[in-house]
Structure 1
Amino acid sequence: MTHILVVNSGSSSFKYQFIDIESEHTLASGLVERIGQPAGHTRHTDAAGETHERDLPIADHTAGFQVMLDAFEQYGPSLAQHPPLAVGHRVVHGGKRFFEPTIVTPLVEINIEDLSELAPLHNPGALQGIRAAEKAFPKIPHVAVFDTAFHQTLPSAAYTYAIDPALAERYRIRRYGFHGTSHKFVSEAAARFLQRPLGELNQIVLHLGNGASVCAVRAGESVDTSMGMTPLEGLVMGTRSGDIDPAVLLHLQRRTGASSDDLDEMFNKHSGMLGMTGNLDMRDVHAAAESGDEGARLALDVYAHRLKHYIGAYLAELGRVDVISFTAGVGENAAFVREAALEGLEELGIRLDPERNGARSREARRISTDDSRIAVLVIPTNEELEIARQTFEVSQAAAE
């Protein structure tokens, strides 16, 4: 058996992929959403690429997993003929307790629940998915793969905030970082693309999607990253403000009477590109800017300024950078973002090739000139495959 089921579960939905770890091909994928609502929705894509959708009530995650099993049974591939070796679960927050993929046990579940304080929008849903999956697949290992784990190699100077250490320890305040599975996958894929040993490379990886983060990677290990205790810190994102003076929150609280929950909602869900332009899609913001919308142009300038800020910071921190990689929805597809982020950095050894940058492709590719001292790449991320790889390794080790 070389098949791994990967599950990414939220509070009212979960996505899944069924991966043949030997060929690294996805055999099926799907989505179960609107769990607990009057009308649920499911989508299952089989090995032939055919998509099958249903609308039906889905009471909870356990019912959702049964709907998923029914889809496998009806549309394939058959889990009876191709049983999964293990189930890999994406868990956003592992705190400082989990620094590697971990076989799920009752104690691990207790710890994931305890860490929900640090990720109240994510960990509870992941735990619901784990418990439902354990009921559906009670005889195989379940592995938790944590978004924060890759960043456990951060040096103390990078993860420590300048506050009272006793207060920080008591309330678990430190930089944790996120998108770890993507940063790990992309940094390793970049080394393979360049045909160079991972241990020789200093890299900057920019994961730019609706959520966005930058990671400085030295010899395959994360040494700094833009997201902090929560995913709010760092880059401008789809709906998150990224870096902001903490006193802004206090000022708004005093002047508007906003509660902490109001501010949480404002800076996580109604800021970023959406807050500045009223639009979440980077393509639409760019089109508006091109047609003369000054607000959209300013938003793009703010977005690029923040990217350049972090690239410069990590160039200085790493001392020598061999490769810069762009990934995720915006990073892989928005040539204008890549151009804006690197414009003016030629004296630092970064020379973008406009024709290569403008060419569209779903493959890993170089977009810098041949004489650029720092290679600039576009590397499509695959977090599900990375979770499957880690799940396979851990489950195999546990079986030995």
Structure 2
Amino acid sequence: MSNRRILTINGGSSSIKFAVYHFGHSLQRGLTGKIDRIGFASTQFTFNDDVNETKTVDCTASDHVAAVEFLADWLDSRKILADLTAIGHRIVHGMHLTQPQIVTPALIEELHQVCPYAPDHLPGELAILKAFGQRVPNVPQVVCFDTAFHRTMPRVATQLPIPRRYEAKGVQRYGFHGLSYSYLMQELRRLGDPSATSGRVILAHLGNGASMAAVRDGKCIDTSMAFTPLAGLPMGTRSGDLDPGVFRYLIQHEGMTPDQFHQMANEESGLLGLSETSSDMRDLLAIESTDIRAAEAIELFCYQAKKLIGSYAAAMGGIDTLVFAGGVGENAAQIRDRICKSLQFLGIELNEKRNAENAPVISPMVSRVGVRVIPTDEEIIIARSVAQLTESQH
């Protein structure tokens, strides 16, 4: 089996990330890459080859199917498709599904029924599944659900305070970023952190998409994203939590349609909307001293993150470990510092030098709460799930 490979696919609304793992006694990552801006004129294909050199080329991909064709041709030219043991996919929404599953026609049909709950992601992800199924029909495909991690939440954390009849239609809080959170918890266990199995952990996945999860005794009890990934923290371009009355006001007085509101809340809000400059935290940090809009966008992000940590500590009766992950969480020491400032009453303190270095542990050696920085890895979670599931079939 040492020459066999697993391909992982992480499809977004306008991108496809992939990684190739050599599948032997352990999983070794080889090629990785991304097709970005699918459906736009400037679609780009970026990849890291086996000697870890990053290369970028232009490509044409009018939709996810065209992107899969391009990627499959490229993989085929490198003799990878013929060696595939299986393909693993991140699926953003699984409703009640909690375990990775091998793709069958019945499962595809079930996922089609879920599309109204994730219209920005699921149709593209299903198109990717179908396209790979046609290209390599004899290679099993496995789906891993981003919502599955949160299925342990108690009922009180899943309910929405709207008329009860809508819950029967599936309108409830689901949560997302679950593959990232699964990896972070696995890493805490690997590192021997006792809070991973019998403590109170807050996981902060802070990137262009941002959310947090509260985990007690190894099980998720709450998370900031809700019915959709739009809820919770302000993000790169997403608004996060918003008073529903804003929707009515903009429809009545600005002539906005529901689709226009959806576009605004998802693509034009968050850091981008507040700063009127950029959705990228690095850009905003670079200009905050001269641009009040950038400074206020950063301040609001950190303020909301601080409030969320406090509310989750209240829900769990305290906190033992805080983990930062995601592009911002892993790399922006200033943001971690501002979020944690004035949280000493919870036992959260940072070591200034270690935080500046993005060290694995950024709390003091003696501290009530361990504060960690863990680079997340959704792809390895997919690959491990695929390996486990396909091995169990033999």
User: Into which bin does the TM-score normalised by the smaller protein fall?
Assistant: over 0.9
For residue 126 of structure 2, what is the aligned residue in structure 1? 127
| Mapping for residues 119-158 of structure 1, pairs under 5 Å | 119-158=118-157
- Tell me if structure 1 keeps the 8 A contact 2:5–2:21: yes
For residue 381 of structure 1, what is the aligned residue in structure 2? 376
1:307 aligns to 2:302 (yes or no): no
Q: CA deviation at 1:197?
A: 7.1
For residue 239 of structure 1, what is the aligned residue in structure 2? 237
Alpha carbons of structure 1 residues 349 and 36: separation in structure 2 relative to 1, 3 Å? closer
Q: CA deviation at 1:64?
A: 3.9
Alpha carbons of structure 1 residues 63 and 318: separation in structure 2 relative to 1, 3 Å? same
| Partners of 2:76 and 2:53 in 1: CA distance | 15
SS at match of 1:224: strand
| Partners of 1:294 and 1:58 in 2: CA distance | 39
* Total equivalences in the alignment: 390
- Tell me if structure 1 keeps the 8 A contact 2:363–2:370: yes
| Partners of 1:100 and 1:292 in 2: CA distance | 49
Q: Which moved more, 1:40-49 or 1:159-168?
A: 40-49
- Tell me if structure 1 keeps the 8 A contact 2:206–2:327: yes
Q: 1:175-215 CA distances to partner (integer Å, 9 max, x unpaired)? A: 01000000111122123224437322321000000010000
- Tell me if structure 2 keeps the 8 A contact 1:14–1:129: no
Q: TM-score, normalised by structure 1?
A: 0.91
Q: 2:16 aligns with which of 8, 11, 14?
A: 14
Q: CA deviation at 1:78?
A: 4.1
The percent identity for this pair of structures is 38
Q: Which moved more, 1:291-300 or 1:313-322?
A: 291-300
Amino acid paired to 2:386: T
Amino acid paired to 1:203: V
Q: Which moved more, 1:252-261 or 1:380-389?
A: 252-261
Alpha carbons of structure 1 residues 294 and 156: separation in structure 2 relative to 1, 3 Å? same
Amino acid paired to 1:282: M
Amino acid paired to 2:384: R
1:212 aligns to 2:210 (yes or no): yes
RMSD between superposed Cα atoms in Å: 2.1
1:227 aligns to 2:218 (yes or no): no
For residue 187 of structure 2, what is the aligned residue in structure 1? 189
- Tell me if structure 1 keeps the 8 A contact 2:9–2:90: yes
| Partners of 1:37 and 1:336 in 2: CA distance | 34
For residue 298 of structure 1, what is the aligned residue in structure 2? 296
Q: Which moved more, 1:117-126 or 1:344-353?
A: 344-353
- Tell me if structure 2 keeps the 8 A contact 1:17–1:384: yes
For residue 359 of structure 1, what is the aligned residue in structure 2? 357
Q: 2:48 aligns with which of 45, 50, 53?
A: 45
Q: 1:217-252 CA distances to partner (integer Å, 9 max, x unpaired)? A: 122221100000001110010111111211111122
Alpha carbons of structure 1 residues 242 and 372: separation in structure 2 relative to 1, 3 Å? same
Alpha carbons of structure 1 residues 49 and 92: separation in structure 2 relative to 1, 3 Å? same
1:284 aligns to 2:283 (yes or no): yes
- Tell me if structure 2 keeps the 8 A contact 1:14–1:31: yes
Structure 1: any 5+ residue segments left out of the alignment?
none
Alpha carbons of structure 1 residues 320 and 121: separation in structure 2 relative to 1, 3 Å? same
| Partners of 2:70 and 2:251 in 1: CA distance | 45
Alpha carbons of structure 1 residues 38 and 310: separation in structure 2 relative to 1, 3 Å? closer
Q: CA deviation at 1:140?
A: 2.5
| Mapping for residues 27-176 of structure 1, pairs under 5 Å | 27-33=30-36, 41-58=44-61, 61=64, 64-74=67-77, 76=78, 78-80=80-82, 83-96=83-96, 98-170=97-169, 172-176=170-174
Structure 2: any 5+ residue segments left out of the alignment?
none
| Partners of 1:217 and 1:208 in 2: CA distance | 17
Q: CA deviation at 1:335?
A: 0.6
Q: CA deviation at 1:125?
A: 0.5
| Partners of 2:60 and 2:105 in 1: CA distance | 30
Amino acid paired to 2:316: L
- Tell me if structure 2 keeps the 8 A contact 1:27–1:77: no
SS at match of 2:203: strand
- Tell me if structure 1 keeps the 8 A contact 2:337–2:350: yes
Q: TM-score, normalised by structure 2?
A: 0.92
SS at match of 2:202: strand
